[in-house]
């Protein structure tokens, strides 16, 4: 019979497939062992990649904040020249956040509004930043020297002191009442960056000639 012949042919095909597959039905998916191997590889790669990614992000944030600090220092300098009167660059902590802002030299160090427009310039680094003073404690770097920053050992260094700029664009200390804001030395301001259990140090320096530079401690030395 034709139908019986077709059934016999189908039975033979199924028998041949079963013998080829070892008597087990075929499967196109992944086994549990294969999935566990892939998961283990992903975890190992992540264990190496995440710390590197965190370090990279920290470096980007640190350099971004230092770039903003340099820009606002230059802004303060330009404002002093433009307005022909000395200006003050404030380094302050307001509401547990570091803020840098520019005012006339006689203005008080009041905290600015984050979105305020009353100041000529301001910048708010991330919450990871603080300005505790010169580096101290375990793992802290040595202070920057005037020789390293400006190539001379005779210039006075004012650490973590708000710099002023006179009408010539040169840094100076706060002048006495009625006195001119004369050049007295160079300035350096330190920042501490803390994130995910790691601490990094950085600084902004202003040379006696008004040159602004940024510094980052890489664990062994200060560098730009």
Q: Three-state SS string across the chain, please?
A: CHHHHHHHHHHHHHHHHHHHCCCCCCCCCCCHHHHHHHHHHHHHHHHHHHHHHHHHHHHHHHHHHHHHHHHHHHHHHHHHHHHCCCEEEEEEEECCEEEEEEEECCCCCCCCCCCCCCCCEEECCCCCEECCCCCCCCCCCCCCCHHHHHCCCCCCEEECCCCEECCCCCEECCCCCCCCCCECCEEEEEEEEEECCEEEEEEEEECCCCCEEEEEECCCCEEC
Backbone phi and psi for residue 197, each to the nearest 5 degrees, phi listed first: 80, 0
CA–CA distance, 128 with 126 (Å, rounded to integer): 5
Per-residue pLDDT at 19: 52
Per-residue pLDDT at 91: 92
Span 186-207, pLDDT tens digits: 999 999 999 988 899 999 999 9
Domain ranges of the chain: 32-223
Per-residue pLDDT at 15: 46
Backbone phi and psi for residue 121, each to the nearest 5 degrees, phi listed first: -165, 150
Q: Whats the size of the chain, residue-wise?
A: 224
Average pLDDT over the chain, rounded to an integer = 81
User: Does the pLDDT value for residue 22 go beyond 70?
Assistant: no
Per-residue pLDDT at 71: 94
Span 46-83, pLDDT tens digits: 666 556 666 778 888 999 999 999 999 999 999 999 99
* 22-31, 80-89, 115-124, 176-185: least confidently modelled range: 22-31
Reported pTM = 0.74
């Amino acid at each position: 019979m034709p139908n019986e012949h077709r059934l016999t042919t189908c039975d033979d095909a199924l028998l041949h497939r079963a013998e080829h597959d070892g008597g087990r039905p075929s499967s196109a998916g992944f086994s549990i062992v294969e999935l566990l191997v892939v998961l283990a590889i992903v975890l190992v790669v992540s264990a190496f990649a995440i710390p590197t990614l965190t370090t990279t992000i920290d470096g980007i944030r640190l350099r971004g904040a230092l770039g903003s600090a340099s820009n606002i220092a230059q802004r303060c300098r330009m404002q002093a020249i433009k307005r022909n009167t000395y200006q003050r660059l404030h380094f302050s902590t307001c509401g547990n956040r570091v803020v840098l802002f520019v005012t006339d030299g006689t203005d008080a160090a009041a905290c600015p509004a984050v979105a305020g427009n009353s100041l000529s310039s301001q910048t708010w680094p991330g919450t990871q930043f603080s300005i505790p003073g010169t580096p101290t404690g375990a793992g802290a770097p040595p202070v920057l020297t005037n020789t390293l920053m400006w190539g001379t050992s005779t210039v006075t260094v004012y650490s973590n002191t708000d710099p002023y700029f006179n009408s010539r664009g040169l840094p100076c200390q706060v002048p006495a009442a009625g006195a001119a804001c004369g050049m007295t030395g160079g300035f350096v301001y330190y920042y501490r960056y803390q994130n995910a259990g790691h601490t990094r140090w950085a600084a902004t320096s202003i040379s006696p000639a008004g040159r602004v530079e940024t510094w980052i401690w890489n664990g062994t030395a200060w560098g730009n």
